[in-house]
Amino acid sequence: MPPGEEECHKNGTSNPETGSKWINDFELLTMDEYLDQPDLVDSHGDASFTGVWDAAKELAEYLLTNTKTNTNTNTNTNIGSPTRILELGSGTGWLGITLARNGFGNNKSKDTSIIVLSDNPHNGAVQWTQRNLDAAKTVQQLPHLDNVQVVPLDWNDVAQIRHVAKMQPWDLIIGSDLIYTEEGCCALAKTMAELLNQQQQQSTTNNKCRILYAHSQGRMPELDVLWKQQLQLQGLTFQIVASKPQSWQNKDRTIIIGDIGLVS
Ligand SMILES: C[S@@+](CC[C@H](N)C(=O)[O-])C[C@H]1O[C@@H](n2cnc3c(N)ncnc32)[C@H](O)[C@@H]1O
């Protein structure tokens, strides 16, 4: 998939409609910088990870509005108080890095406070995530990124999925705009089920891991149908917790945020 021209914005900005006040100062590496690194440019043409997609912004807005976190108090509203967060298909890393800039994964009273960004190692994506994080830390010198890490995670690689599942007792798994091929759609649902099942098996407490996934519904309608089928097939529930209509070139789309869990 070529870099999207419409939903994909090189620099995420706070939502002007809601007048969000959260910190949004992470500057992405540019497309020119991507093209200057031939080792990263995917020969199959997938550069979808080089920009920030609209669903990522909606998920940031949702998380930052519904959870109050700062380094002293972790006030629970709706989302709970996630301190161990895993992001799937991070791309530029904008979502996870922005969450970290706003206090997530940085709870000094908890030594396990962490945000892990993950992406595919086979198309240059996870390398791009890492380079963006490195630039945020060293070039931009943004604070509060010490607890942000990057790991390779290909949804077709069972060993990688199990490794990541065991890294932490995750509180929250997030992802945005990850569905744009049939193969990826099936692999993603399977990965989510595997991660949640592993969390359930490993859990010694009542701490329940949840997945929040932001999806652009209507962009590829046939994949919307397949996604629902795959969730069911993998024994997953999808409860919409937020939705926002979007219009692009007179085509109706809705960004939906779904809370994904195991069928009980
Ligand atoms: C459209 S981009 C979205 C990027 C980011 N989440 C956002 O919203 O800005 C899709 C992401 O899914 C990742 N992806 C696609 N197939 C994958 C796979 N098999 N394993 C892991 N990540 C994959 C891509 O590398 C890319 O980063």
Mean pLDDT of the chain: 86
- In 3D space, the residue among 193, 185, 129, 184 whose CA is nearest the CA of residue 161 turns out to be 193
What integer is the mean pLDDT of 69-90? Answer: 69
What integer is the mean pLDDT of 213-238? Answer: 97
Confirm or reject: Cβ of 155 under 6 Å from ligand 1. yes
What integer is the mean pLDDT of 83-94? Answer: 97
Confirm or reject: Cβ of 58 under 6 Å from ligand 1. no
* Number of other residues whose CB lies within 10 A of the CB of residue 42: 17
What is the maximum span of the chain, computed from C-alpha positions, in angstroms? 50
What CATH number was assigned to the domain covering residues 31-262?
3.40.50.150
Confirm or reject: Cβ of 178 under 6 Å from ligand 1. yes
188: alpha, beta or left? (left if phi > 0; alpha if psi -120 to 50): alpha
| Atom of ligand 1 lying closest to residue 153 CA | 21
- The end-to-end CA distance of the chain, in Å, is 36
| Cα gap 1→38, rounded to integer Å | 18
| Atom of ligand 1 lying closest to residue 183 CA | 19
Confirm or reject: Cβ of 12 under 6 Å from ligand 1. no
Confirm or reject: Cβ of 193 under 6 Å from ligand 1. no
Confirm or reject: Cβ of 187 under 6 Å from ligand 1. yes
| Cα gap 58→103, rounded to integer Å | 18
Helix, strand, or coil (residue 173): strand
Tokens of 49: 């990870």
Q: Could you report the per-residue pLDDT of 172-184, keeping only the tens digit for each?
A: 999 999 999 999 9
Contact 214, 175 (CB under 8 A): yes
For residue 50, what is the DSSP state?
A: G
**What is this structure's pTM?**
0.90
Confirm or reject: Cβ of 123 under 6 Å from ligand 1. yes
Residue 49 Cα to ligand 1 middle (Å)? 6
Residue 71 has pLDDT above 60, yes or no: no
Q: How far is CA 82 from the centre of its chain?
A: 14
Name the band, by pLDDT with cuts 50, 70 and 90, for residue 19: low
* Helix pair 158-167, 182-202: axis angle to 10 deg: 40
Domain ranges of the chain: 31-262
Confirm or reject: Cβ of 120 under 6 Å from ligand 1. yes
Residue 138 Cα to ligand 1 middle (Å)? 25
Which residues 6+ apart lie within 8 Å of 48 measured at CB?
1, 3, 4, 8, 91, 180
Q: What is the pLDDT of residue 114?
A: 94
